[in-house]
């Protein structure tokens, strides 16, 4: 949204909000419940604003910049995840749950790498060995790193998951990293927001996205478009890696920005 539009929407309201935010003692006496409801609304509005700001930052910078951003102010990470949760509660189906359902049908001996794990739901739900990776470690089991450079050994995992986490402008380096850590024949699952692939609004062509990953050395097994809010891509890593490949054309994934409600 343009800055001028934003200002227009907020225009004239600020004074009003500030006035109401401090209720007079008489208002307190007569309507005890109102100020808290109002404060709750204010809090929700402010945290919504913070969430949108952090979200926009993450979609428009590199993973390295995002890592530095959170290193400087780790509390922004919790703020981001509170907003993320609230946004996701509007979705009819959570992509991470669809992925968990699929993982439950696979071998329990599969080692999983959850790239951009957030609250590490996969590790918390499954008995498999799971490497949970994110920019900030909100839990002792989460490895804090930029997922373009993970501490995982090469050819060490059976499944690499990216669930709504291809946020950085350098997303191709995350896929390359997953290629490095995956065993030959291993699975790569990517769930991404549908609107990022809507060519009518500047999104990437899902075929081009899938082709770029295939050129890296993967086989596209399935694309699931059945969910309203996200697309789920399933790939397997080819047994034989391409030693010399041509320059891959990675389509730009449109940032997923949320509107003010
Ligand atoms: N996969 C989780 C969380 C999705 S939110 C789920 O589905 O619930 C996206 C997450 O990706 C955020 O926690 C964000 O911090 C993380 N992320 C984005 N870029 C990253 C990077 N370069 N390295 C590590 N994590 C990253």
User: What is the spatial distance between Cα 97 and Cα 95, in angstroms, rounded to a whole number?
Assistant: 5
Whose Cα sits closest to atom 22 in ligand 1?
63
pLDDT for residue 35: 56
> What is the share, in percent, of the chain residues with pLDDT greater than 70?
85
Task: Report the 10 Å Cβ neighbour count for 12.
Answer: 8
- Residue 88 Cα: closest atom of ligand 1: 8
Q: How many angstroms separate the alpha carbon of residue 85 from the centre of ligand 1?
A: 13
* Residue 26: predicted pLDDT: 41
Q: Which of 54, 60, 57 lies closest to 76 in space, CA to CA? A: 54
**What percent of the chain stands above pLDDT 90?**
70
Higher pLDDT: 259 or 157? It is 157
- For ligand 1, is residue 66 a contact (CB within 6 Å)? yes
pLDDT of res. 261: 62
**Domains of the chain, CATH where assigned:** 25-87 (1.10.10.2150), 94-237 (3.40.50.150)
- Ligand 1 pocket check for 231: Cβ under 6 Å: no
Asked if 145 contacts 133 with a C-beta cutoff of 8 angstroms, the reply is yes
The whole-model pTM stands at: 0.85
For residue 51, which of 91, 79, 32, 10 has the smallest C-alpha distance? 79
Q: Which tens digits make up the pLDDT trace of 127-166?
A: 999 999 999 998 899 999 999 999 999 999 999 999 999 9
Which of 51, 65, 130, 167 to mutate to test ligand 1, by most ligand atoms within 8 A of the CB atom?
A: 167
* Residue located nearest, by CA, to atom 26 of ligand 1: 116
Q: Which of 6-10, 35-39, 229-233, 245-249 has the highest mean pLDDT?
A: 229-233
Please state, in angstroms and rounded to a whole number, the distance separating the CA atoms of residues 196 and 46. Answer: 26
Higher pLDDT, 47 or 54: 54
Q: Is the C-beta atom of 193 inside 6 A of ligand 1?
A: no
Range picked from 7-11, 16-20, 125-129 for highest mean pLDDT: 125-129
**What band does 42 get if pLDDT is binned at 50, 70 and 90?**
confident
Instruction: Judge whether 148 and 109 are in contact, CB under 8 Å.
Output: no
Structure confidence at residue 4 (pLDDT):
40
Cα dihedral: 87, 91, 94, 98 (round 10):
-160
């Amino acid at each position: 949204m343009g800055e001028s539009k934003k200002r227009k929407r907020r225009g004239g309201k600020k004074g009003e909000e500030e006035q109401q935010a401090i209720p007079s003692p008489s208002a307190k006496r007569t309507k005890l419940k109102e100020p808290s409801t109002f404060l709750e609304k204010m809090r929700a509005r402010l945290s919504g604003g913070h969430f949108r700001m952090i979200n926009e930052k993450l979609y428009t910078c590199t993973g390295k910049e995002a890592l530095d951003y959170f290193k400087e102010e780790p509390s922004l990470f919790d703020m981001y995840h509170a907003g993320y949760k609230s946004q996701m509660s509007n979705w009819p189906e959570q992509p991470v749950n669809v992925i968990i359902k699929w993982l439950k049908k696979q071998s329990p001996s599969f080692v999983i790498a959850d790239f951009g794990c957030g609250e590490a739901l996969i590790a918390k739900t499954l008995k498999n060995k799971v490497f949970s990776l994110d920019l900030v470690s909100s839990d002792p089991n989460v490895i804090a790193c930029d997922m373009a450079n993970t501490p995982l050994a090469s050819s060490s995992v059976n499944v690499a998951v990216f669930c709504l986490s291809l946020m950085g402008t350098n997303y191709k380096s995350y896929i390359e990293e997953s290629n490095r850590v995956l065993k030959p024949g291993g699975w790569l699952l990517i769930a991404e927001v549908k609107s990022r692939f809507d060519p009518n609004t500047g999104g990437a062509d899902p075929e081009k996205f899938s082709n770029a990953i295939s050129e890296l050395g993967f086989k596209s097994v399935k694309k699931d478009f059945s969910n309203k809010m996200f697309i789920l891509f399933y790939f397997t890593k080819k047994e034989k890696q391409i030693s010399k490949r041509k320059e891959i054309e990675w389509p730009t994934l449109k940032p997923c920005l949320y509107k003010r409600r």
